[in-house]
Amino acid sequence: MTEQSLSRPETRKRRLPQINPVYVLVVALILAIIVMNPAFGEPTGYMNFLKRVAALAILSAGALYVIVSGGFDLSVGSIMTLTVIGSSMLASNDPNSTYWIIPLMLGIGLVIGLVNGLVVSYLKVPSLIATLGMMITLNGVAFMWSGGAPRGYLPDTFRFFGRYNITDVPLIGILPIAVICLVVFGATLWWGMHRTNFGRMLHAAGDNPQAARLAGVPVQRVRISAFVVSALTAVLAGIILGGRAGVSVNIGSGFELQAITAAVIGGAQLLGGRGSVPAAIAGALALEAIFTLLNLLGLAQPVRLVVQGLILIGAVAFATYQRKRAGR
Amino acid sequence: MNKTLLTLAVLGMLTGAASAQAPNFDDPAEFAKQRDQLTATFNGPADQVYLQYAGDSMADTAQYKKDGPWTVCFSNAGVNNPWRVVGYTNMTEEVKLHPEIGTFTHVDAEGSDDKQIADIDDLLAGGDCDVLIVSPNSTAALTPAVEKACAAGLPVIVFDRGVTTDCPVTFVHPVGGYGFGIQAAEHIIANVPAGGKVLMLRILPGVDVLETRASGARNMFTEAGLDILGEEFTDGDNAKTKSIVEDYLQRGGIDAVWMDAGATAVAAVEAFEDQGMDVPVVTGEDQQDYLQKWRDLGFKGIAPTYPTYQWRTAIIAAVNTLKGEPVPSPEWVLPQPAITQDVLDQYINEKMPPLHYAMCGCEDMPSYPEAWGGSK
């Protein structure tokens, strides 16, 4: 909702408030789901939904940092895979291992993000290729580490973040830990992007790197930081997804494209310079809501895929069209 | 709005037409045959299930008799899922038990028909193989490659998925997909009242061994008057499985979940568990994680198997062929037992990895359990 707080020139012809269409889409989808299935309006209904979407939403907000800086990060899905497989390998059913495994995984994420950033900034490898290479490498590492089949479970202390619900909460009944994580990390990422100098430099570097450099923005360092943020959120998303679903060999695969899609539905501009964290999170909600709604409609799976694809293209086309009309 | 409906209807018809051209995965004769084999008596030693076989038709392999050391070549469809990882371990450990095998050459097609066809060509061109074992990636695509190997005079052993030629010495496989579907469906029908609601969860469409599992079960549910809530594809993804079950739960009750493979069975069970609901009948497979969840929560489970010991049998068939000993042929049909409540405890081993397939027939091997990632 940050767009609304900005004052706009009064000369605009259209009088409708300029709301990012992604919010309209999310509200419409959710209303449709509630009409189809009133149980969704109950706290257990929507809390379960938010719990399900938490991993993707956090990931999208992190991926947005790289998108705004003018790049792509295709390695995030494989970071999630590595996080889950690696944690299960290291945990060896010891509940106390969680306390060192999570910091270790964040450390690994930090290193991966740094490598991505350095390769893109200093070796001048296009980010699409650099992170694609990283994705293939990490998938290979996860496969080698596990030998093709996971060799351990995730202890309940690790799965706490993705699976546990606080029950008997006044008003809402249940409150999943994953939803708390979503709010905390979402707010942090929003603050970093929209309320700090770093966020402004990120936008500047993505919009026009040349101009930003001349204006004194350390473009390369800003870009490297964006990759680090993205990799760290991927680790967090991996922890939440692994907690929710448990170990499997291909967990997290495909999330890189979903995260980019969510950010773009939220109005982020591929190639940089523009994007909003709350809108990217709303984009993730929209993606998941489409899935849920089509499921509720009971359409056959092939039809569902077609409709899902058309809604995605339509949403992005509409956002672009509106932006053009508004001259932004 | 009408236009949208019309579009959807057209799309529905298109997909319907596409599936009408698909190969026949609903063959009543094969269904009946496998149903009988599930309860049939098998020949062979009672304590070595991987040596047992149905029927008594044997192939004479005297023409292939050869002195060791042999080069055994194996063209593998892939080692891309935990079932194949366990199976491949069975195989390499079995190779170690045969000193006559001098070289074991393994080529991994990584799930690609094209690569596997090229792999077989390369093996034939190399000229070192004394026997060729093939686990085909897909049936139709690999048939010509297998025929070519036969034409080159090599004894060929096919296992797991089949090919549509009878030129191999034998085709090693357990009872089959219909059998798997039947075992799970029978358990559900016995434990769910008439008119009960069944959710069918499947990995992906179009794979013969999975399609036959689903069609076998679907026929039985319809016959028994159960209500099939839906057939959903999970892509073998735990998170997606959990979401699908949660969505169905929001729409109403579920009396049973039928699964075409066990990899995501635990996620389906957790969907009920996390909502604080009693877990209904949820079928699975012989992975440790499912067996343990079943024991711990005490729901009505069953684990049909697609036993990984067939990977051992393939090596044994190759060895017998090169020794000139008779081999069950044209098919070596192995038993396909289901793990039921009565025998559950004897298959649970907490020292094994969560995705270890318990029906591996590997407990009698010297390297068990370490080679499979377990500990004593």
ipTM for the complex shown: 0.83
pLDDT for A150 beyond 80: no
The whole-number pLDDT of residue A143 equals: 87
pLDDT at B18: 39
pLDDT of residue B309 exceeding 60: yes
**Position B247 in a domain:** yes
Number of cross-chain residue pairs from A and B with Cβ atoms under 8 Å apart:
93
**pLDDT-derived band at A16, boundaries 50, 70, 90:** low
pLDDT in the model for residue A149:
75
pLDDT of the residue at A50: 94
In-domain check, residue A294 = no
Distance CA A159, CA A152 (A): 13
The verdict on residue B25 lying in a domain is: no
Residue-level pLDDT at A297: 79
Domain shared by B191 and B167, yes or no: no
What CATH number has the domain bearing residue B113?
3.40.50.2300
Closest chain B residue by Cα to residue A249: B81
Q: Quickly state the pLDDT bin for A17 (edges 50, 70, 90).
A: low
**Spatial distance between the Cα atoms of A155 and A153, rounded to a whole number of angstroms:** 6
* Res. A123 pLDDT band, cuts 50 70 90: very high
Answer whether residue A11 is part of any domain.
no
Q: How far is CA B41 from the centre of its chain?
A: 21
* pLDDT of residue A278 exceeding 90: yes
Q: Give me the domain span that covers residue A56.
A: 44-276
Partner residues linked to B328 by β-bridges: B58
Average pLDDT over residues B118-138: 94
Of the two residues A292 and A190, the one the predictor is more confident about is A190
Are residues B238 and A246, on separate chains, in Cβ contact within 8 Å?
yes
In chain A, pLDDT over 90 holds for what percent of residues? 58
Tens digit of pLDDT for each residue in B317-362? 999 999 999 999 899 999 999 999 999 999 999 889 888 999 999 9
The answer to whether B305 touches B360, Cβ cutoff 8 Å, is no
Nearest Cβ partner of A163 from B263, B274, B354?
B274
Instruction: Report if residue B295 sits inside a domain.
Output: yes
Tell whether B181 and B297 lie within a shared domain.
Answer: yes
pLDDT value for B13: 41
Say yes or no to pLDDT of A87 above 90: yes
The stretch B281-309 carries a mean pLDDT of 95
Q: List chain B residues with CB under 8 Å of A40.
A: 250
Q: What is the pLDDT of residue A327?
A: 56
Give the pair of three-digit tokens for residue A275: 């994007």
Alpha helices in chain B (DSSP H): 2-20, 28-39, 82-96, 113-126, 139-151, 177-191, 208-224, 238-251, 265-274, 288-297, 310-323, 344-347
Domain limits at B209? 177-302
- On whether residue A37 sits in a domain, the answer given is no
Instruction: Give, as one character, the DSSP assignment of residue A269.
Output: P
Cβ–Cβ of B266/A163 closer than 8 Å? no
pTM of the model: 0.85
Residue A175: strand, helix, or coil: strand
Mutate to test the interface with B, among A48, A164, A247 (most CBs of B within 10 A): A48
- The span from the CA of A182 to the CA of A10, in Å, is 36
Half-sphere CA count of B337, side-chain side, radius 13 A = 18
Number of domains in chain B: 2
| pLDDT at residue B139 is higher than 70 | yes
Same domain flag for B62 and B135: yes
Mean pLDDT of B222-251: 89
CA distance A25 to A265: 10
Report the Cα A19 to chain-centroid distance in Å: 21
Using a CB-CB cut-off of 8 Å, the residues of chain A touching B204 are none
pLDDT at A145 over 90: no
Are B311 and B276 in a shared domain?
no
Is pLDDT above 90 for B310? Answer: yes
Give how many domains chain A has, as a whole number.
1
| Nearest alpha carbon to residue B160 among B342, B331, B376 | B331
Quick check: bond before B69 cis, omega within 30?
Answer: yes
pLDDT at B10: 43
Could you tell me if B315 and B280 lie in one domain?
Answer: no
Within-domain flag for A31: no
Q: Which residues of B fall within a CB distance of 8 Å from A144?
A: none
Asked whether the beta carbons of residue B250 and residue A165 sit closer than 8 angstroms, the reply is no
Inter-residue contact A37 to B251 (CB < 8 Å): yes
Closest chain A C-alpha to B262 CA, distance in angstroms? 12
Over chain B, what is the mean pLDDT? 89
Q: Give the residue numbers in A contacting B (CB under 8 Å), as ranges.
A: 37, 39-40, 44-45, 48, 52, 55, 147-153, 163, 165, 241, 244-251, 291-292, 295-296, 298-303, 306-307
pLDDT given at position A13: 52
Q: Give the Cα separation of B146 and B108 in Å (integer).
A: 16
| Torsion sign across C-alpha atoms A117, A121, A127, A132 | negative
